[in-house]
Amino acid sequence: MDEIFDKLQAVADRYDELNELISDPEIIADTQRFMKLSKEEGSIRETVEKYTEYKKVSQQIKDDDELLHEKLDPEMEQLTKEELAESKEQQEQLEQELRVLLLPQDPNDDKNIIMEIHGAAGGDEASLFAGDLFEMYSRYAEKQGWQVEVVDKSDTEVGGFKEIVLMISGNKVYSKLKYENGAHRVQRIPVTESAGRVHTSTATVGVMPEAEDVDIDIDPKDIRTDVYRSSGAGGQHINKTSSAVRMTHLPTGIVVAMQDERSQQQNRAKAMQILRARVYDYYQQKEQSAYDEQRKSAVGTGDRSERIRTYNYPQNRVTDHRIGLTLNKLDRIMNGELDEIIDALVIADQTEKMEQLRNE
């Protein structure tokens, strides 16, 4: 524990400093700075609480050790030994928890996400699979107590989606769903296949943390906004008014079009929400070397072209290629029971980060 004691003490000192700062009226008046410091304080609170508990247990062990060197009656000696064994077990558990808490934290872990699912290779079957993935994530979100809002979608005649964009809100959404970024491959007999042959199709999933004003400052001068008439269903009202909105972020060339809502104002708000997330994601990938390093790891948040998982329907099997995990329970996974896969990915990621820390 000695090698991480200094780190823990530095975190505890920073925590005390942050609590002083966020009590300062001058900082309270500066909303953005107050939010940033409060967020930092919240992110290290659990580590400091565990460290305080660790120090308390360590002191108890020291006291019990000293007590056993004194002359005690047999009953007192037995009680002290039992307490010492219990404290050592607790100390070991806290040490493991603290090692995990000291791993480099992803600053986006506590954020909501914007998820984009696209039917890729495989025509109609890829669109149908995109719809199946949407259902899978919606059911998983429901089990987690999260909210799902469809922000935009492009339906297909066969019942799937060329593209569907969701906002998933709740507790630590990004920390669990960031590993879903990539290409998902399905192997099954399509409903349109009369000969009963198994086809392979793909859909891509993009997971972006929701970006707030405190995360990224987009200059309004860098955004070109065009309005036009909606081409979708919705009757005369939509077709007679320019309610659809297309926003272009000029420095990056990122374009977001939104025509889902009835009013231009609603479409503007949703387009801005997605644009902010895409621009934030773009700069993160481009500029942060630590983020880039993470993306190269076995369990990164990977780019969308990387094949991460195969869903084999005939054999009721799901394989995550990054960690070599195979589960013969595809039916349950498509019903939103993703915990086993996500937990395995989190553990693999933590193990890899611990290994990197040891090698530094």
Q: What is the pLDDT of residues 276-314, one digit of tens each?
A: 888 888 777 765 555 455 545 555 555 556 789 999 999
| 286: exposed, middle or buried (Cβ count in 10 Å: 0-12, 13-18, 19+) | exposed
- CA gap 311, 316 in Å, rounded: 8
pLDDT, position 203: 92
pLDDT, position 237: 44
- Model-level pTM? 0.67
Contacts of 34-39 with CB under 8 Å at 24 or more apart are: 35/214, 36/214, 39/214
pLDDT, position 318: 95
pLDDT, position 306: 76
Look up residue 42 and give its amino acid: G
pLDDT, position 328: 95
Q: 181 near 303, Cβ under 8 Å?
A: yes
- CA gap 22, 249 in Å, rounded: 35
- CA gap 262, 80 in Å, rounded: 72
| Backbone conformation region of residue 241, classed left if phi is above 0, alpha if psi is from -120 to 50, else beta | beta
Q: 320 near 309, Cβ under 8 Å?
A: yes
Question: Strand ranges (DSSP E) for the chain?
Answer: 113-119, 147-155, 161-169, 182-188, 199-209, 223-228, 244-249, 254-258, 307-312, 317-320, 325-327
Q: What is the mean pLDDT of each run of 10 residues along the chain (360 residues)?
A: 73 90 90 86 87 91 87 85 90 84 77 88 86 95 92 81 89 91 89 76 88 69 78 47 78 79 76 82 66 53 72 94 93 94 88 70
Tokens of 14: 């920073």
Distances (CA, A) of 23 to 27, 200, 236: 8, 58, 55
Cα torsion 96, 99, 101, 103: sign: negative
pLDDT, position 10: 84
Tokens of 65: 């050790």
pLDDT, position 224: 84
SS3 call for 335: coil
- CA gap 39, 24 in Å, rounded: 16
Tokens of 240: 């007679």
pLDDT, position 236: 42
Tokens of 159: 């019942």
Q: What is the pLDDT of residues 12-56, one digit of tens each?
A: 999 999 999 999 888 899 888 898 888 888 888 888 999 999 999
